Amino acid sequence: MMKRQILAIQDVYVPTKRRQTLDPQKVEALAESMMEKGQEAPILVRPDGKRFVLVEGLHRLEACKALGETTVPVYLVQARKH
């Protein structure tokens, strides 16, 4: 079951392997879309002790950062560690 909540962006940990897939053009396009429509889909994170690990939504997270956001809507999911 997924639970929606708002987290501080700084509390979301992005694994190194995930960062390597980042496409700056995609981030820019998403940021523009978010300015017009808002964030349409929350990112997915899993709890890991006191932090939350990104499961899905790297480009949305980076677009929020680019827009100067300090919080992000997320869904908490139960996911295996990669």
Question: Can you give the pLDDT at residue 80?
Answer: 65
pLDDT tens sequence across 44-74: 999 988 889 999 999 999 999 999 999 999 9
Question: Can you give the pLDDT at residue 38?
Answer: 85
Residue 53 DSSP class: E
Q: Which residue did the predictor score with more confidence, 82 or 65? A: 65
Return the axis-axis angle of helices 58-66 and 24-37, rounded to nearest 10°: 70
The residue range of the domain holding 39 is 3-76
- Number of structural domains (the chain) is 1
CATH, residue 40 = 3.90.1530.10
Sign of CA dihedral 1, 71, 55, 80: negative
